[in-house]
Every structure is written in structure tokens, then in C-alpha cells.
């Protein structure tokens, strides 16, 4: 049965590789009747499981005296396990005799075992006090994270204020680079997504409205839907997935690499150099991407209505003209920079919070994406309520 | 030990990246139980040579034979099993930052062998004791350790499968002299008690003087191998500069301290 386990396969290979000239020779077995533990052949580290099984059998039987016959050499790891076995039995008042080729390592092992280096921390069940402490720790981490966000916001505002006064501080080349990476390079995917979504909504709209003979309203559905909500929202979600994660990961690795500290040590403000250009680039790029998405969404709607409803393009445009007012377009577009700001802030903040480990980097990148999408949708809901109230 | 065949045989290794030739016919032997140092200027291909020996990189020509088996001719699958035979430490430790020290040390063992938790914990204790670390360190994450402790944990992980050969890349770089000297002691001690073969890339002249039996110097895409005494009097300008430059004064009174040669 063991042969099916990959670990056993590795162990076999490890044993064989040890000395390819000789076949596997080590075997260990415990004879309960004679209270004898017989080790035959050289025990390499790869043979440790075999040894442990035999030692386990001997531990279970627990005879009053055990004779250990050692037939070959033992690696350091197996010697240590054997030594621990002997020590345990002797501590329990049993008699253990080592016979045969007693490993020469034992003297070295006795020596290192005698060194006082403390005890191995065990995996005990946490006490109630420790659980409370862990809870408090988690709570504190939450509070710290809010505090981080506050400091982050403050420092960013400060650098933005400085940048406002001097154009050099604004780092235009950096902003342009990030606009290229997050904007221009995102055009294909945003365009395709917008096209597909408008096709889907046109298709469902036409199907649902047909029983009422109101297929023509499919045009209203698609155009208003895309312009007011879908275009900007899908763009924001795409950008959050693409750029929010990239910002967090990029800044996180820089943080792990001490690059952020290096900037600070050179008297540069990391918020000005790293955060501001990224956030600014997203604020600028989001409306542009939204226009692309709107255009592609309308194109998709026109395509599908002309195909499904036999509606010629000219009629689509006429219908579009009557259903859509100026504000429909602006109601979508005005949200774009806000979404860009939210995504940019979340990504950079989470990136700068990375410390210590690669796992933290992964966690905070995930947090950046999830939170920015959540914030975008939440903000969108607020916008919807506000626009309804002011009749925009 | 004198009659034993070499444990590592490198023959006519050629490594090139595009037009740039890094090694042009590098050959040397490493004897069992020996501490073998590799030195060379930045860009002389020390790390590339180490990666070639480890089978992480296939040379453009030449062979590496470790314990009578030709590493350079092995299939990937076979090589993966064979690599468990030697322990490696990397310059910056390369500990897995998301795992604790104990998990770092357990990883190669648990991956290769089917062992119960208690035995694994015992083995972690052994390795930590071997490298002289306090056992509380087991529960810590690499980010909580000092530079010297990271190097020791890396060594403990390299020792986890009782390798016959240890490859150390800059084991003492970034350590203070006391920690570096303790690390030298540790390597010497492990070699003397366990008869390990150690191949180390190092720039630390003190480490070189105290631990290495023979030194390979990479110059002009070739290698010059000799005992330290032999290398120190070599007439090659780079070697002269290396050992007799401003920082080479240690070499003017070579190893009178602890080897007694």
C-alpha cells in the first residue's frame, strides 16, 4: 500500500541514489519475543522511515530490556532518532544494550544534546489568555491598518499639495509612463469586454421585451445601461484587476527589497515618487478608458440590434438620440476619475503595507483587488442614489 | 583518505552567454572530506560555476561527475533525485519567508520521506543543535531572524537530508567578524566530525585562510587550483592583487593560528 504514496517513491529513490552500486540493503525489524531490534545494512537518511517504524514497534511493545544489534553505519539523522529512542526507554527505567557497530556519531550527538539551547516550542493548544491575546492582536492590526490609511492619505495630500505648486515635483514622465501601462495597454481588453457585455444585455433585452412588442426599447436599455453604468463599472473592475494588483505587487516587492527605504534615505519622498504618479495616472486614464468602453458598448448594441431587430443603423442613431440626453453620458463619465482614485489609492496603500514575507505580498495584493472592486461598487451605489436625488 | 577517488570531478567546462565566454575549459577535482574554496572577481563566473556543479545549469561543454555519476548527462528526473544528495545554501539564505524556521528545515525531509510529526520535530531539533541555534528559533519566521541566524538556518536546511556534499555560496558575506568566525568554526567542525565535503564560494579572506584546504581561483576564464600557500605566491597579476592588495594583509602570515600546518 505504501508503494502508492509519492513519499515512499521519493524515499526509495533517495535510498537507491545513495549508492547505486549496491541495492537497497537497510532493513530494521523488532522481534518482540526476543526483545531484539535488528538493524541490517547501512541506514541512510532515506531509510529513516523504515527505522522509525521498527523503533515504533519497539516502543509499543515496551519490553523491560532491549538488545539493539546494529549491522551497518548510520547517518546522522537516523543515529539521532535511535539515540532519542534509547534515551526515552532508559528514562522509563528499561534496559537498552547497543551491540554491533555502534555509530561513532553518538559521541558528537551526546555532545550537542548536552548543549543548553532551550526547548523546542511545541504546538500546544492555546490557553484562553492566549486566545484573548490573539484576538486583541488581530483587533490592533485592524486599527493599525486604519491608522496606516490615515497616514497614507495625509502624506499623499501633502505631496500632492507640494506637487501642485511646482510642476517638476509632479514627475510628468512617470505619470505618462503609468498612463501608458495602465491606460493604453488596457484598451484592447476593455474594448472587448464592453463590446461583449453590451451584446449580452442587448440580446437579453430584445428577448424579454419582444412579448410586449417593445423591442425598440432594447436600444434605450443598451445605450442608457452602457453609458450610465456598465461602461464605467466594467472598466473600473478591469482596471482594479489589472492595475490595482500590479500597483500593490510592484510597491510590495519594492518594500520587501528595501527600495522604499532607499528612496527615503536619498531624501526623496516615496509618496511623491511612487504613489502620486500612479494615482494621478489612474485618475487621468479612467475617463479615457470609459470613453473607449462607452463607444464599444454602443457599437456592440448597434450591431446586435441591427442583427436581432432588423434595425438599420440610422434608426439606431435616431432612437439613441431620443433616449439619451447629454447627462446620460456625463453621469457615467463623471464617476470614472473617482473610481480611478479609489483603485489607485487602495493598490498603492496595500503595496506599501507589505512587510517581511512573500505570503504577506500575496495577501495584500489580493486585499488590494478585492477592496478596490468593493469600493468601486459601493461608490457607484452612492452615485446612483445621489443622481436620483438631484435628478441628473 | 589519501587513496580515495575524487568526489567531484569537473572536466573542461565551457559556459558562455551569447558571445561572452565565462568559462573556457575549467577542470578541477574535489577530494572527499575537503573544504574547497572558489574565489574570483565579480563577473568571473563563480556563481555560474556553482550552478553548473549543482546541475542547475547545463554547461555548453564539459562534464561534471559527482560521486562517480555524471551530473551533466543526467535526465532531469534522475537529477532531481540526485540533488537530494547534496545540501546547498544560497548567498542570501533563500529561506522560504512564509514558513517558520522549523517548517523550512522540515520541508526537504517531509517532501522526501514518510515520517511522523514526532520524528520530524526531533530532526528539526537535531539540525538546530548542529548549527548552534537556540531551539526557540524554530517557531520564528525568517523575517524575525538576524543575518547570522538566517545563514545558520540555511545551513540547517542544507544539512536536513544528511548530504555528503555541502555547497555554500558566500556563507559569511554580510556577517560580522564574530559571527563569521563562528560560522567558520561550525563548517570546520561539521567537516571534521561528519567528514562532509564542502565546496564554498567566498570572498572572505579570513574564511579562506581558516577553512579551505585548497582554493580554486577563476581568472581569465580558466581556473587555477592549489593550496592556499601555493595560490598566495602565484605570480598572476590578478591573484597577486587579490591576496596582496590593501585588504589582503591576512595572507602575509597565513594560517598559523589553528591548522598547525
ipTM over 0.95: no
Nearest to A60 by CA among A91, A40, A89: A89
Q: Are strands B69-70 and B8-17 parallel, antiparallel or unpaired?
A: unpaired
pLDDT of residue A373: 95
CA–CA distance, A99 with A67 (Å, rounded to integer): 7
Buried b (16+ CB within 10 A) or exposed e, A113-136: beeebeebeeeeeeeeeeeeeeee
Q: Which helix (H) or strand (E) holds B29?
A: strand B20-30
Please answer yes or no on whether A10 and B162 come within 8 Å at the CB atom: no
Instruction: Output the pLDDT for position A250.
Output: 93
Which residue from A minimizes the CA distance to B189?
A108
Determine the 3-state secondary structure of B67 from DSSP: coil
CA dist., res. B258 & res. A30, Å (int): 46
- Domain residue extents for chain B: 88-163
* Nearest-neighbour CA in chain B from A99: distance (Å): 22
Distance between the two ends of chain A, CA-based, in angstroms? Answer: 72
User: Cα–Cα distance between B114 and A47 in angstroms, integer?
Assistant: 10
- Is the per-residue pLDDT at A211 higher than 70? yes
Pick the CATH number of A24-114 from 1.10.238.10, 3.40.640.10, 3.30.750.24, 4.10.80.400: 3.30.750.24
**For residue A21, what pLDDT is reported?**
45
- pLDDT tens per residue, range A153-181: 888 888 888 877 777 777 888 889 999 99
Residue A255 and residue A360: Cα distance in Å, rounded? Answer: 11
Contact of B130 with chain A, judged by CB distance below 8 Å, is answered with yes
Rounded to a whole number of angstroms, the distance from the CA of A118 to the nearest CA of chain B is: 6
Q: What is the pLDDT of residue A335?
A: 93
Is A81's CB within 8 Å of B116's CB?
Answer: no
Q: CB–CB of A120 and B125 under 8 A?
A: yes
For chain B, what percent of residues have pLDDT higher than 90?
A: 0
Q: What is the mean pLDDT of chain A?
A: 83
Q: Nearest Cβ partner of B115 from A5, A48, A80?
A: A48
In chain A, where are the structural domains located? 24-114, 169-390
- Calculate how close chain A gets to B202, using CA atoms only, in Å: 23
Contact B89, B167 (CB under 8 A): yes
Q: Are B115 and A17 a contacting pair at CB < 8 A?
A: no
Residue A194, all three cell numbers: 464592453
Question: How far is it, in rounded angstroms, from Cα A109 to Cα A247?
Answer: 51
Show the cell assigned to B17.
552567454
Confidence of residue A247 (pLDDT cuts 50, 70, 90): very high
pLDDT of A386:
92
Q: Looking at chain B, how many residues does it have?
A: 261
B197, B164 in Cβ contact below 8 A? yes
Which backbone phi and psi does A368 adopt, to 5 degrees?
Answer: -60, -45
pLDDT digits (tens, 9 = 90+) for A59-115: 777 777 778 888 777 788 888 888 888 888 788 787 878 777 777 777 778 877 787
> What cell numbers appear for B140 in the block?
520564528
Which residues, other chains included, contact A172 with Cβ-Cβ below 8 Å and sequence gap of 6+? none
Query: How far, in Å, CA of A44 to CA of A46, rounded?
Result: 5
What global pTM score does this model have? Answer: 0.69
Cβ distance of A356 and B141 shorter than 8 Å: yes
Name the CA radius of gyration of chain A, rounded.
Answer: 35
pLDDT band with cut points at 50, 70 and 90 for residue A289:
very high
Assign A15 a pLDDT band (cuts: 50, 70, 90).
low
| Section A322-345 average pLDDT | 90
pLDDT of residue B246: 61
Question: Do A46 and B116 count as a contact with CB atoms less than 8 A apart?
Answer: no
User: In terms of DSSP bridges, do strands B20-30 and B69-70 run parallel, antiparallel, or are they unpaired?
Assistant: unpaired
Which A residues 74-113 touch B at CB under 8 Å?
75-77, 80-81, 84, 105, 108-109, 112-113
Q: What are φ and ψ of residue B85, in 5° steps?
A: -75, -20
What tens digit of pLDDT does each residue of B63-74 get?
A: 888 887 787 777
With cut-offs at 50, 70 and 90, classify the pLDDT of residue A241. very high
d(CA B234, CA B48): 24
Shortest Cα distance, chain A CAs vs residue B105, angstroms: 13
pLDDT digits (tens, 9 = 90+) for A250-263: 999 998 888 888 88
Low-confidence residues of chain B: pLDDT under 50: 1, 253-261
Report whether A73 contacts A79 (CB < 8 A). Answer: no
User: Residue B224 pairs with which residues in a beta bridge?
Assistant: B217
> Would you call A10 an interface residue with chain B, using a CB distance cutoff of 8 Å?
yes
Listed residue (B180, B230, B237, B235) closest to B205, CA to CA: B180
Helices (H), A183-275: 187-209, 217-224, 231-239, 245-256, 259-265, 270
Gap between the Cα atoms of A252 and A255, Å rounded: 5
Confidence bin at A18 (pLDDT 50/70/90): very low
Q: What is the grid cell recorded at A322?
A: 431620443
Contact B98 A20 (CB under 8 A): no
Residues in chain A: 392
- B141 contacts on A by Cβ (under 8 Å): 356-357
Å from B61 to nearest chain A CA?
25
Distance from C-alpha of A284 to C-alpha of A280, rounded to nearest angstrom: 6
Q: Which residue of B has its CA nearest to A359?
A: B98
Element (H, E) at A211: none
What's the CA dihedral at B66, B71, B77, B80 to 10 degrees? 50
Amino acid at each position: 500500500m505504501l508503494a502508492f504514496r509519492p513519499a515512499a517513491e521519493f524515499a526509495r529513490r533517495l535510498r537507491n541514489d545513495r549508492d547505486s552500486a549496491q541495492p537497497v540493503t537497510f532493513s530494521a525489524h523488532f522481534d518482540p519475543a526476543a526483545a531484539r531490534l535488528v538493524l541490517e545494512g547501512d541506514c541512510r537518511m532515506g531509510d529513516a522511515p523504515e527505522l522509525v517504524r521498527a523503533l515504533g514497534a519497539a516502543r509499543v511493545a515496551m519490553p523491560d530490556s532491549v538488545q539493539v544489534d546494529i549491522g551497518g553505519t548510520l547517518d546522522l539523522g537516523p543515529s539521532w532518532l535511535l539515540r532519542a529512542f534509547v534515551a526515552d526507554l532508559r528514562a522509563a527505567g528499561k534496559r537498552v544494550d547497543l551491540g554491533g557497530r555502534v555509530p561513532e556519531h553518538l559521541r558528537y550527538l551526546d555532545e550537542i544534546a548536552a548543549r543548553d539551547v532551550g526547548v523546542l516550542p511545541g504546538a500546544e493548544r492555546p490557553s484562553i489568555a492566549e486566545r484573548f491575546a490573539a484576538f486583541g492582536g488581530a483587533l490592533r492590526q485592524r486599527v493599525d491598518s486604519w491608522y496606516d490609511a490615515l497616514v497614507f492619505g495625509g502624506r499623499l495630500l501633502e505631496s500632492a499639495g507640494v506637487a501642485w505648486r511646482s510642476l517638476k515635483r509632479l514627475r510628468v514622465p512617470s505619470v505618462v509612463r503609468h498612463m501608458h501601462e495602465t491606460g493604453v495597454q488596457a484598451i484592447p481588453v476593455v474594448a472587448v469586454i464592453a463590446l461583449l457585455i453590451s451584446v449580452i444585455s442587448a440580446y437579453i433585452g430584445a428577448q424579454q421585451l419582444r412579448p410586449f412588442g417593445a423591442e425598440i426599447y432594447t436600444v434605450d436599455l443598451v445605450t442608457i445601461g452602457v453609458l450610465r453604468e456598465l461602461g464605467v463599472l466594467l472598466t473600473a473592475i478591469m482596471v482594479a484587476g489589472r492595475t490595482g494588483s500590479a500597483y500593490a505587487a510592484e510597491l510590495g516587492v519594492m518594500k520587501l527589497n528595501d527600495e522604499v527605504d532607499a528612496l527615503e534615505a536619498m531624501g526623496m519622498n516615496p509618496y511623491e515618487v511612487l504613489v502620486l504618479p500612479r494615482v494621478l495616472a489612474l485618475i487621468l486614464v479612467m475617463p479615457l478608458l470609459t470613453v473607449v468602453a462607452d463607444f464599444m458598448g454602443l457599437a456592440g448594441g448597434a450591431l446586435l440590434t441591427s442583427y436581432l431587430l432588423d434595425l438599420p443603423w440610422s434608426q439606431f442613431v435616431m432612437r439613441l438620440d431620443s433616449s439619451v440626453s447629454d447627462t446620460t453620458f456625463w453621469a457615467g463619465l463623471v464617476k470614472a476619475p473617482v473610481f480611478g482614485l479609489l483603485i489607485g489609492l487602495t493598490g498603492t496603500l496595500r503595496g506599501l503595507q507589505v512587510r517581511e514575507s512573500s505570503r504577506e505580498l500575496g495577501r495584500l495584493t489580493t486585499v488590494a483587488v478585492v477592496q478596490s472592486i468593493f469600493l468601486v461598487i459601493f461608490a457607484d451605489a452612492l452615485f446612483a442614489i445621489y443622481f436620483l436625488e438631484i435628478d441628473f | 583518505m589519501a587513496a580515495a577517488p575524487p568526489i567531484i570531478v569537473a572536466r573542461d567546462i565551457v559556459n558562455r552567454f551569447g558571445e561572452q565566454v565565462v568559462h573556457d575549459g575549467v577542470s578541477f577535482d574535489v577530494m572527499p572530506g575537503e573544504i574547497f574554496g572558489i574565489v574570483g572577481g565579480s563577473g568571473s563566473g563563480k556563481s555560474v560555476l556553482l550552478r553548473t556543479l549543482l546541475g542547475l545549469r547545463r554547461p555548453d561543454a564539459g562534464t561534471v561527475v559527482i560521486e562517480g555519476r555524471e551530473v551533466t548527462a543526467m535526465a532531469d528526473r534522475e537529477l532531481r533525485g540526485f540533488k537530494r544528495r547534496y545540501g546547498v545554501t544560497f548567498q542570501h539564505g533563500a529561506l522560504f519567508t512564509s514558513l517558520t524556521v522549523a517548517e523550512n528545515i522540515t520541508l526537504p525531509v517531509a517532501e522526501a520521506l514518510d515520517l511522523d510529526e514526532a520524528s520530524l520535530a526531533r530532526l528539526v531539533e537535531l539540525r538546530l543543535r548542529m548549527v548552534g541555534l537556540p531551539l526557540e528559533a524554530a517557531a520564528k519566521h525568517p523575517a524575525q531572524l538576524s543575518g547570522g541566524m538566517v545563514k545558520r538556518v540555511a545551513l540547517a536546511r542544507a544539512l536536513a537530508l544528511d548530504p555528503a556534499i555541502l555547497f555554500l555560496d558566500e556563507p559569511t558575506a554580510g556577517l560580522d567578524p564574530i559571527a563569521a568566525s563562528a560560522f567558520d568554526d561550525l563548517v570546520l567542525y561539521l567537516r571534521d566530525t561528519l567528514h562532509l565535503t564542502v565546496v564554498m564560494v567566498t570572498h572572505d579572506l579570513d574564511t579562506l585562510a581558516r577553512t579551505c584546504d585548497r582554493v580554486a581561483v577563476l581568472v581569465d576564464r580558466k581556473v587555477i587550483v592549489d593550496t592556499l600557500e601555493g595560490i598566495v605566491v602565484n605570480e598572476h597579476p590578478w591573484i597577486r592583487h587579490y591576496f596582496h592588495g590593501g585588504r589582503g594583509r591576512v595572507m602575509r602570515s597565513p594560517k598559523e593560528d589553528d591548522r598547525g600546518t
